Chain A
Amino acid sequence: MSEALETLSVAWNVISKAFRPALDSRNNDGYLPSYEDLKASVELLHQHGIAHIVEEWFFETLQQDLREIIVPRFWSHFDFQTAGADGDPDTSFGSKYFRVLLNAVKELHSSFQLYIPCVSQLQCLHEDLQAEEDTLPSEAQTFLQCSYLSLASRVHLVLKALLLAKIPQQFSNNLINFYSRAFKAFQIKQPLEKYEEEDLDDQLECPACENDNENCCCVEVLNTFQEVNQHLKELNLLEAVAGDAVTTVAYRHIQDYVQKTCKGNYENSYMPQLERWLDGALLMWMQSVYSESNAEYVVLICNIKEQMNHFLYETYTTVRMEELFSIIIEFPESQAALEDLKVCLEKTNLRQNLITSLKNSLERRLLHPGVNTADILTAYISAIKALRILDPTGVILQLVCEPVRKYLRLREDTVRCIVSSLTDDGCGELASELMKGAPLLLDDNYQADEEDVNWESWQPDPSDADPTKTTQSHRSHDIISMLVSIYGSKDLFVKEYCVLLADRLLSTFCYDTVKEIRYLELLKLRFGESQLHQCEVMLKDVADSKRINTHVNSEKMIADFRVGEFPLNAMILSAQFWPTLREEHLQLPEIVEKALESYKKAFEALKGNRTLCWKGHLGLVNLDLQLKDRTLNFSVSPIHATIIWHFQEKARWSLEALSAVTRVPTSALRRKIAYWQTLGILREEATDVFVLEEEEPQRQSLDGSVLPDEEEENGSVMASSQDQREEELQVFWSFIVGMLTNLGSLPIERIHSMLRMFAMQGSGTTGCSIHELRQFLDRKVREQKLVYSGGYYRLPRA
């Protein structure tokens, strides 16, 4: 029995010697048992059925050694930091740190290396044991079956766990610092390709380590870097210790590079360049970190590559997202950027962020009172075109531009802006769009087109599309349709176009309508024939007027009707089809009145049973002023002509007298006289007395005193919409008078409710708000047709 114990104890001695390598001087007598001895000893243990405890014991001692000696020793290398790491790590600190890191890793590596032979021996024994598994006691069998990991990986696992359990705070920052420096050095020394545009050869300083070229420590840094990586890899710690730092450094450099390359420049496509850089510079570096060549490594690099690519796309998208407003404004120059962005957007999950951010920047930069409606429209059109590239389904556009459309709906001059740019003479955006001549697609007249030809290439809508809105085919990309649909109906646009057309015809008095007819045809394609019928009549009126003019001014007619002291032309309108014209009083010169009368007679003779109603205040007069020292030619409105005509008879007129002759109110007359004043032909001699300047006045005398505002009042010949509205309210006036006659005085609420009860029920009359009614009544008060006191309106005493 005691003999057996003794042999066992000898065998155990051999085993413990073999499996506990000598760290420091601990039981270091240089004796290492041979594998045969070892095997014999284990064999002996095995005979006693306790061989399996060898493994257990080995791990126990390994852990103990690691915990007590190796790991604390490794971290103690970095203790100097607690003293010196307050300031930011300068170059000397950096290189010192490199050495420390290298030494620490080296030491860790060498001390751990001692265990490697033990592990391989143990592995052999383990396999031998496994071969004889059947002879083992059941306890040992279960033990063997449990250890499915290979011994080597278990050892590494223990090391990793114990090492990382003690990691100091500063360590990861310093590691990032280390890898980032290594990356810079790598880029400089990288012989393959240069991605930086600046020529490095010319610089005295190495851009990576900021030392003189001669003292450049990049090579040294790179060597350290390689060595550290190599050791860590052999310890199987590379991913665990450095993985984070490497990725962080890579991310930082991607961010920097993307910012540096693309920010603020939208005209070139950067994606290929960025991808090339990523492949060439960054991934090369990462490969050099993980350099190894087995299957596992290939998978790892693939993963990293994918991850980095994804991050590149994300970074690019983020950078562009902030600039998207400017990109839209600069469209089509920025097309390249948009195409890049589209690619990136498909690969990342930032669509929602992009929509939100663009929406915000649109609202912030566009939708406030400081921006002209025309500018908003231009931006909107740009957005339509640009976002069409980014997202062909139009969902982003729909989501982003909703606030813009809502805002445009609130602006009064939106319709006018759109219509006038539609028929802009210049090569305006919309005018050229109109030329395409596609019919309008609006929500109300859309019929589902089920027979889609390309049903095989059908794609579902993006997930953020509004399901209550139309489907993809309907989300039209036609710019004009989009603009018209701001209001949801064509009527407003047609009405506005009529006014615009009338305005143009009656201000130029050009009988050549070829261009207008062309526009009208184009518009008809879009808005439909019936809507624009009115405009067709207007243009026909112009053509008819031209014919009638030639006829009336023909020799025979001149003989018959004596229309002929000067050529008189007319624009004869079919009043039903024109917008309401501005009504004004103007007594024309007698000679003109006579001519008009003759023209009217000629017209009546020409067209039986029809007559003319002149609107003398409208028109265009071409006249020569023969002054003492010069002759001037003008094209002016009839009222200007009338004013100057009267100065033929006498050279000095008071405002009152002139107002009596022309039957124009003095305030309006003064404004019109201002035109001649600015030309230096009339002069205000005293208050309200104007005198003709026969000779060209000295320039100096003109300044200062005269020169009233040149501002012509609203140039339109059409009645303003407000005037028209008041005309409509006029219907209620007789009701109001009746009410006030019977009931004395009433507050506005009563008047309004009674009107609603009695007058607004008819289908023809439009309703009116209490606000409008107040305006209307206040005007009547000003005209002294009503009296307002203490909140009550009443009729003035007759």
Chain B
Amino acid sequence: MKVVIKSWTSVASWRWIANDDNCGICRMPFDGCCTDCKMPGDDCPLVWGQCSHCFHIHCIMKWLNSQQVHQLCPMCRQEWKFKE
């Protein structure tokens, strides 16, 4: 007997490769979306700082815009720089 697989449909769930489960700012799961967004994933991506902390992009942008003088990572208080 020979089994020929003509097509295989499987199920997977995606997740961000991050060192934490929840966004430090909005406390929502990374795999969910920030409070302003409706759709997770592409519509509400994560960004990493050079300090290796990561946030929902909308959350960190909101934070950075509210800081007048220095733009610091809200977790470690180092200067925030986007990881290339």
Contact = CB atoms under 8 A, between A and B. Distances in A.
Given A536-B38, A537-B39, A571 B10 contact: yes
Contact of A614 (B4, B12, B42): B12
Contact of B9 (A533, A600, A611, A620): A620
Contact of A576 (B2, B10, B29): B29
Given A569-B10, A619-B10, A575 B15 contact: yes
Interface residues of B, number: 28
A574 B14 contact: yes
A612 B12 contact: yes
B40 A577 contact: yes
Nearest to B40: A574
B2 to A, nearest CB: 4
B65 interface: no
A540 interface: yes
Given A609-B46, A610-B15, A647-B1, A574 B41 contact: yes
A506 interface: yes
Contacts of B7: 566-569, 621-622
A624 B48 CA distance: 47
A614 B38 contact: no
A323 to B, nearest CB: 54
Contacts of A620: 9
Contacts of B9: 509, 568-571, 619-621
A380 to B, nearest CB: 36
Interface string B18-30: 1000000000010
Interface stretch (A358-366, A407-415, A440-448, A638-646): A638-646
Contacts of A319: none
B8 A576 contact: no
Interface in A103-146: none
A612 B16 contact: no
Contacts of A544: 41-42
Nearest to A631: B4
Contacts of A218: none
Contacts of B29: 576
B18 to A, nearest CB: 8
A648 interface: yes
Interface in A571-629: 571-578, 581, 591-592, 595-596, 600, 603, 607, 609-616, 618-628
A644 B14 contact: no
Given A569-B7, A576-B40, A592-B8, A615 B13 contact: yes
A537 B38 CA distance: 8
A624 B4 contact: yes
Interface residues of A, number: 58
Nearest to A511: B9
Given A533-B38, A626-B1, A573 B10 contact: no
A614 B13 CA distance: 7
Contacts, number: 144
A506 B14 CA distance: 16
Secondary structure of the B contact surface, majority rule: strand
Contacts of A537: 38-40
A624 B6 contact: yes
A673 interface: no
Nearest to B6: A622
B12 A571 contact: yes
A615 B8 contact: no
Pick from B9, B15, B46 the residue with the most CB of A within 10 Å: B9
Contacts of B11: 506, 570-571, 573, 581, 614-615, 618-619
A96 B6 CA distance: 99
Nearest to B31: A576
A466 interface: no
B54 to A, nearest CB: 9
A433 interface: no
A618 B40 contact: no
B5 A641 contact: yes
A633 B17 CA distance: 39
A798 B13 CA distance: 38
Pick from B10, B15, B18 the residue with the most CB of A within 10 Å: B10
B50 to A, nearest CB: 15
Contacts of A573: 11-14
A638 B18 CA distance: 30
Contact of B14 (A540, A572, A581, A651): A572
A707 to B, nearest CB: 22
Contacts of A576: 29, 31-32, 40
A577 B1 CA distance: 42
Contacts of B3: 623-626, 641, 644-645, 648
A525 to B, nearest CB: 18
A244 interface: no
A694 interface: yes
A623 B6 contact: yes
B16 A610 contact: yes
B1 A614 contact: no
B1 to A, nearest CB: 5
Given A537-B39, A569-B7, A576-B32, A627 B12 contact: no
A506 B9 CA distance: 10
B10 A618 contact: yes
A623 B5 contact: yes
A692 interface: yes
Contacts of A633: 6
A572 B1 contact: no
Nearest to B45: A609
Closest 7 CB pairs of A and B: A575-B13, A618-B11, A619-B10, A576-B32, A612-B12, A624-B4, A626-B2
Given A573-B11, A578-B13, A611-B17, 16 more contacts: A540-B39, A570-B10, A573-B12, A573-B14, A596-B10, A603-B14, A609-B46, A609-B48, A610-B41, A612-B15, A621-B7, A633-B6, A638-B8, A638-B10, A644-B3, A645-B3
Interface of B: 1-18, 29, 31-32, 38-42, 46, 48
18 contacts: A536-B38, A566-B7, A568-B9, A573-B13, A574-B32, A576-B32, A591-B5, A610-B14, A613-B14, A614-B11, A615-B12, A619-B8, A620-B9, A622-B6, A622-B7, A622-B8, A623-B6, A648-B2
